[in-house]
């Protein structure tokens, strides 16, 4: 099969980019021919990713004379300099569309049997328009649902175009319901694929010391929507000595959010280490060196990094965002391996009521302390998280579901 992958932003840098790269990896292992169209910055090359050598890569280059602005991101805060869709002018949109049309027309010579486009957003609508007779699967990652609210000027075009996509891949049953309600797409055309993890990278260590300093980890964008300022404030409340615990923040950010996080980290009574963005292999090694993973996000589609943390044998504290809890299931919650924290009231998706943040941060600190006590009382490496993840989630299974969607497509064409 000849597969064309399409994403508007940098591959490999966010959850959707990691999803994309793992689909490409598994498809290459299965012998499929592949082409990728992606938005990157001039000078990024192949974005430093371990792409298959035979992958045909057609980049759309930003920060150039033709596109003199950073890559637009599906989140308002990206781990690299980016443009917000809601701030794009008509001229910026015209240049963006012209560049992607040129790249997609070049990709048409690849003669794809299947097109997989990531995010139910402007590029998905454009792909459907340019490839009216080709099978198209759109992957929803959740961030586009927020963009429909924050960049509402594009909503009519997005919804109209995405309704014509042959099939939609959703990350969770909760997200499937959102797509039905927001886009008006028939339920039978939306398939829950879930997500996966790379078991060659994310697995428990043979041993893990629990008698000395506890090592806590956050991995993801350093932004307010991800709850990182609240995490640091909650961490600062822990009734511990400085040498009892340290926090590592693996990720990067930009702008006011990042400045606030750096100031909070500098004032925290506990040691906070910053690694910047890490390749998947380095993140897997870091997870094997830590004890506790904390994901304080106010909004998630389906947190890949939480699954990776559980697969690495980490105890977890996670905010109770819709989707994660139902997908992971009750077993790990009942065992205490993962503990959920109730969210503050949200003014909109990913935007908490600031008046409720102190109470949320107190709950977060309490849950972190509860997990620390469990870690101290445990012996060896808890493997239930790994076993649960290995049994139920893999990128191979996700790609097999997409193959099955493709095989069933003929009866669902021409929407």
Task: State the pLDDT at residue 48.
Answer: 47
Residue 169: is it exposed, middle or buried by C-beta count within 10 angstroms (0-12/13-18/19+)?
Answer: buried
Residues 46 and 175 in one domain: yes
What confidence score (pLDDT) does residue 412 get? 44
Instruction: Pick the closest to residue 131 from 116, 120, 141, 145 (CA basis).
Output: 116
Supply the pLDDT for residue 45. 67
Nearest Cα neighbor of 39 from 87, 65, 5 is 5
How many domains are contained in the chain? 2
pTM above 0.85, yes or no: no
Give the Cα separation of 112 and 10 in Å (integer): 21
- 124 lies in the same domain as 54: yes
pLDDT at 208: 80
pLDDT of residue 380: 67
- 67 and 102 inside one domain: yes
Is 241 buried (19+), middle (13-18) or exposed (0-12) by CB count in 10 A?
exposed
Asked if residue 209 belongs to a domain, the reply is no
Residues 61 and 90 in one domain: yes
Judgement on whether residues 72 and 60 belong to the same structural domain of the protein: yes
DSSP state of 72: E
CA 374 to chain centre: 28
Q: Which residue has the tokens 């959707």?
A: 16
Residue 226 CA to residue 76 CA, distance in Å, equals 11
Q: Which long-range contacts (C-beta less than 8 Å, at least 24 apart) are formed by 43-49?
A: 44/10, 47/10, 47/11, 47/12, 47/13, 48/12, 48/279, 49/11, 49/12, 49/21
Identify whether 275 is part of a domain.
Answer: yes
Check whether residue 311 and residue 375 sit in a common domain.
yes
Quote the domain boundaries for residue 372.
214-392
Between CA 337 and CA 315 the distance in angstroms is: 5
CATH number at residue 254: 3.40.50.2000
pLDDT the model gives residue 49: 55
Q: Are residues 189 and 247 in the same domain?
A: no
- Print pLDDT tens along the chain (415 aa): 999 999 999 998 888 998 999 999 999 999 999 999 999 999 886 554 567 888 999 999 999 999 999 999 998 878 888 999 999 999 999 999 999 999 999 999 999 999 999 999 999 999 999 999 999 999 999 899 889 988 989 999 999 999 999 999 999 888 999 999 999 999 999 999 988 889 899 999 988 876 678 999 999 989 998 999 999 999 999 999 999 999 999 998 888 889 999 999 999 999 999 999 898 999 999 999 999 999 999 887 668 899 899 989 999 999 998 767 777 777 778 888 999 999 999 887 778 899 999 999 999 999 999 999 999 888 767 776 777 777 778 899 899 999 999 998 865 454 5
Same domain, 274 and 403: no
């Amino acid at each position: 099969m000849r597969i064309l992958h399409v994403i508007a932003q940098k591959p490999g840098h966010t959850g959707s980019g990691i999803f994309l790269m793992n689909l490409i990896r598994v498809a290459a292992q299965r012998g499929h021919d592949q082409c990728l169209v992606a938005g990157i910055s001039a000078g990024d090359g192949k974005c430093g990713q371990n792409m298959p050598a035979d992958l045909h890569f057609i980049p759309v280059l930003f920060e150039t004379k033709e596109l003199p602005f950073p890559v637009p991101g599906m989140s308002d805060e990206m781990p690299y300099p980016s443009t917000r869709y809601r701030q794009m002018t008509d001229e910026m949109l015209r240049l963006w569309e012209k560049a992607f049309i040129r790249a997609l027309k070049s990709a048409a010579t690849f003669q794809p049997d299947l097109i997989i486009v990531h995010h139910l957003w402007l590029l998905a609508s454009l792909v459907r328009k340019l490839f009216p007779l080709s099978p198209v699967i759109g992957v929803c990652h959740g961030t586009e649902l927020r963009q429909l609210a924050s960049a509402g000027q594009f909503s009519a075009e997005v919804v109209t175009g995405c309704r014509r996509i042959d099939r939609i891949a959703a990350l969770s049953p909760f997200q499937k319901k959102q797509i039905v309600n927001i886009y008006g797409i028939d339920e039978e055309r939306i398939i829950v694929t879930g997500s996966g993890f790379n078991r060659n990278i994310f697995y428990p260590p043979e041993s893990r010391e629990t008698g000395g300093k506890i090592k806590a980890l956050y991995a993801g964008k350093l932004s307010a929507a991800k709850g990182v300022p609240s995490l640091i404030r909650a961490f600062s409340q822990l009734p511990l000595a400085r040498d009892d615990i340290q926090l590592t923040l693996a990720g990067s950010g930009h702008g006011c959010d990042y400045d606030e996080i750096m100031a909070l980290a500098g004032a925290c009574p506990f040691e906070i280490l910053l690694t910047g963005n890490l390749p998947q292999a380095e993140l897997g090694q870091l997870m094997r060196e830590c004890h506790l993973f904390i994901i304080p996000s106010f909004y998630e589609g389906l947190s890949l990094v939480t699954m990776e943390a559980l697969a690495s044998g980490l105890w977890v504290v996670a905010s109770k965002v819709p989707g994660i809890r139902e997908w992971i299931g009750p077993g790990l919650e009942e065992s205490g391996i993962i503990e959920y924290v109730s969210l503050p009231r949200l003014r909109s998706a990913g935007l908490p009521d600031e008046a409720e943040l102190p109470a949320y941060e107190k709950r977060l600190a309490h849950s972190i302390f509860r997990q620390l006590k469990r870690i101290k009382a445990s012996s060896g490496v808890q493997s239930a998280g790994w076993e649960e993840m290995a049994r139920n989630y893999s990128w191979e299974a996700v790609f097999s579901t997409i193959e099955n969607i493709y095989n069933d497509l003929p009866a669902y064409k021409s929407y």
